[in-house]
Amino acid sequence: MSSPKNDFKKEIPKLYPRLHRAMSAYLAGSDLEPEDITQEAFLKAYRSIDHFKGNSGFYTWVYSIARNLSIDYFRKQKNEMNRSSIPVDEFEIESDEFSSADRREEVLLLRKAISELPELLRTVVVMKTIDGLTYPEISEILDVNEQTIKNRMFRARKELAGILKNLGVDQV
């Protein structure tokens, strides 16, 4: 029988890898585990499925839940860890795709640079460039108008360029 709960349950295997990847990027350098937040977000979404209005897709909905959970956690922690002090090695790479050491190093530095962005900018970068969400979708998740999102994206890119320069990364 088709019900929102059943429909959502069927979508979980498809949505999980995408959200997990986005959360890995968003939470890199923090002491929050992407697995924990991703699972908590799915369970919370499932329990409150009656509040899902259906204006957007399940993904943007569960994404905003995951982000809110993370922000709640950061608020509780109050003093979010100073990410720039985290050594590059902490940004682990799980796959063995990066066979060359240089390439691996470059990816680690890129991860570190993204993690050093302030939350407001980091979340936009992750959503746009890593998760591939559109500006209207990001605007819906963050509940901020598209123009502001685009401004933040410009600032984020500008800051990233500066951080990478400081980390000594030769840009293309």
Partner 1 sequence: MKMYDMNEYRERKNLELEINRAADGELSRHEMTALEKKLQQFPDLLESYRNIMALPDLGDAYPDSDNISAVNSAGVKRILDFIESEEKSFRNFAEESLIWFRRYALAASIAILAVVSGFYLSYDVPENSEVAMEHLFYPDDQLESESYVLYLDELFDQ
Q: What is the dihedral of CA 133, 135, 137, 140, to 10 degrees?
A: 140
> Does residue 27 belong to the site contacting partner 1 (CB under 8 A)?
no
> Does residue 125 belong to the site contacting partner 1 (CB under 8 A)?
yes
Looking at beta carbons only, is 72 or 146 nearer to partner 1? 146
CB of 69 to partner 1, least distance (A): 14
- CA distances (Å), origin 84, targets 40, 87, 117, 146: 27, 8, 9, 29
> Does residue 123 belong to the site contacting partner 1 (CB under 8 A)?
no
Looking at beta carbons only, is 9 or 72 nearer to partner 1? 9
> Does residue 42 belong to the site contacting partner 1 (CB under 8 A)?
yes
Q: Which long-range contacts (CB under 8 A, 24 or more apart) does 86-92 make?
A: 86/29, 86/112, 86/115, 88/112, 90/29, 91/28, 91/29, 91/115
**Site track 85-114 with partner 1 (rule: CB under 8 A), x = hit:** --------xxx-x--------xx--xx--x
Task: Name the phi and psi angles at 171, rounded to 5.
Answer: -85, 160
Identity of the residue numbered 63: Y
DSSP 126: I
Identity of the residue numbered 151: N
Contact set with partner 1 (CB under 8 A): 9, 12-13, 16-17, 20-21, 24-25, 35, 38-39, 42-43, 46, 93-95, 97, 106-107, 110-111, 114, 125, 128-130, 132, 150-151, 153-154, 157-158, 160-162, 164-165, 169, 171-172
